[in-house]
Amino acid sequence: MYPPLPNPTVTPSAPKLSDKNLMRRSASTVPQGESMQQVAKLIDTSKCIGCKACQTACLEWNNLREEVGVNAGSYTNPHDLTTASWTLMRFTEWVNPETQDLEWLIRKDGCMHCADPGCLKACPSPGAIVQYTNGIVDFVKDNCIGCGYCVKGCPFNIPRISKAEGKAYKCSLCSDRVAVGQGPACAKACPTQAIVFGPKEDMKKHAEGRIKDLKSRGYKNAGLYDPPGVGGTHVMYVLHHADKPQIYAGLPNNPVISPLVEVWKGAVKYAGLAAIGAVAALGFLHHAVSGPNRVSREDEEAAKRLAEGKS
Partner 1 sequence: MNMELSRRHFLKGAGAGLAGTTVGAFGFGDIEAAYAASIRPFKLANLTETRNTCPYCSVACGIVMYSKGDLKKGEKADIVHIEGDADHPTNRGTLCPKGSALLDFVHSETRLKYPMIRKPGSNKFERATWDVALDRIARLMKDDRDQNFIAKNNDGTTVNRWVTTGFLAASATTNETAFITYKAVRSAGMLVFDNQARV
Partner 2 sequence: MADSEVAPGDGIHPGDPVKVDRYTAGARINHWITAASLVLLAISGLALFHPSLFFLTALFGGGSWTRVIHPWLGVILFFGFFGLFLRFWKLNLWKREDGTWMAKIRDVIAGHDENLPELGKYNAGQKMVFWSMSALILVLITSGIVIWDQYFGPYFTVTQKRVAVLVHAGAAVAAICVWIVHVYAAIWVRGTISAMTRGQVTGGWAWRHHRKWLRDLVTRH
Partner 3 sequence: MTNSWTDIKNTDLVVIMGGNAAEAHPCGFKWVTEAKANRGAKLIVVDPRYTRSASVADLYAPIRQGTDIAFLLGVINYCIKNDKVQWEYVKAFTSAPYVVKAGFKYEDGLFDGYDETKRDYNRSNWDLEIGPDGNLVVDETLQNPRCVWNMMKAHVAEYTPEMVSRICGTPKDKFLKVCEMIAATSAKDKVMTSMYALGWTQHSKGSQNIRGMAMLQLLLGNIGVRGGGMNALRGHSNIQGLTDIGLMSNLIPGYMTIPTEREATFDTYMSTRGFKPLRPGQMSFFQNYKKFFVSFQKAMWASAATAENNWAYDYLPKLDVPAYDVLRAFELMHQGKMNGYICQGFNPLMSFPNRKKMTAALSKLKYLITMDPLETETARFWENHGEYNDVDPTKIQTEVIQLPSTCFAEDEGALVNSGRWLQWHWAGATPPGEAKLDSWIMAQIHLRLKALYQKEGGAFAEPITNLHWPYKDPNDPSPEELAKELNGYVIETVTDPNDPTKIVLEKGKQVVGFGVLRDDGKTACGNWIYAGSFNEAGNNMARRDNSDVDDTGAFSKWAFSWPANRRILYNRASADVNGKAWDPSRKLIEWDGTKWAGYDVPDIAPGAKPDVVGPFIMNPEGTARFFTRGLMRDGPFPVHYEPFESPVANAVAPKVRGNPAARVFRGDMEQFGDAKEFPYAATSYRLTEHFHFWTKHVQPNAVVQPEFFVEISEQLAQEKGVKSGGWVRVWSKRGSIKAKAVVTKRIVPLICDGKPIHIVGIPLHWGFTGAAKKGFGPNSLTPYVGDANIETPEYKAFLVDIESISGPVA
Instruction: List interacting residues with partner 2 (CB under 8 A).
Output: 27-28, 124-126, 143, 145-149, 151-152, 157, 161, 163, 166, 258, 260-261, 263-264, 268-269, 271-273, 275-276, 279-280, 283, 286-287, 290-297, 299-304, 306-311
Check if the beta carbon of residue 156 is closer than 8 Å to that of residue 234. Answer: no
Nearest to 168 by CA among 129, 136, 196: 129
> What kind and span of H or E run contains 56?
helix 53-61
191 binds partner 3 (CB under 8 A): yes
**Are the CB atoms for 5 and 187 separated by under 8 Å?**
yes
Q: Which residue in 78, 199, 229, 252 binds partner 1 (CB under 8 A)?
A: 199
Residues within window 1-30 making contact with partner 1, judged by CB under 8 A: 1, 3-22
249 binds, options partner 1, partner 2, partner 3, none, Cβ within 5 to 8 A by partner type: none
Which of 26, 76, 125, 134 lies at the binding interface for partner 1 (CB under 8 A)? 134
Q: What angle do CA 234, 3, 239 make, to 5 degrees?
A: 45
Q: Nearest approach, Cβ of 31 to partner 2 (angstroms)?
A: 16
Tell me whether residue 28 or residue 258 sits nearer to partner 1 (CB atom).
28
Q: Looking only at residues 33 through 72 of this chain, which bind partner 3 when binding is defined by CB under 8 A?
A: 46-53, 55-56, 59-60, 65-72
Residues numbered 176 to 195 that lie near partner 1 (CB under 8 A) are: 176-183, 185, 188-193
Choose the binding region for partner 1 from 36-44, 68-76, 79-87, 239-247 (rule: CB under 8 A).
Answer: 36-44
Q: Kindly state whether residue 93 participates in binding partner 3, applying the rule CB under 8 A.
A: yes
Q: Which of 167, 144, 176 is nearest to 83 (CA)?
A: 167
Four-point Cα dihedral 188, 192, 197, 201, nearest 10: 160
Distance CA 222, CA 93 (A): 18
Cα–Cα distance for residue pair 108/92, rounded to 1 Å:
12
Q: Are strands 235-239 and 39-44 parallel, antiparallel or unpaired?
A: parallel
What DSSP character marks residue 20?
G
Which of partner 1, partner 2, partner 3, none does 179 bind, CB closer than 5 to 8 A by kind? partner 1
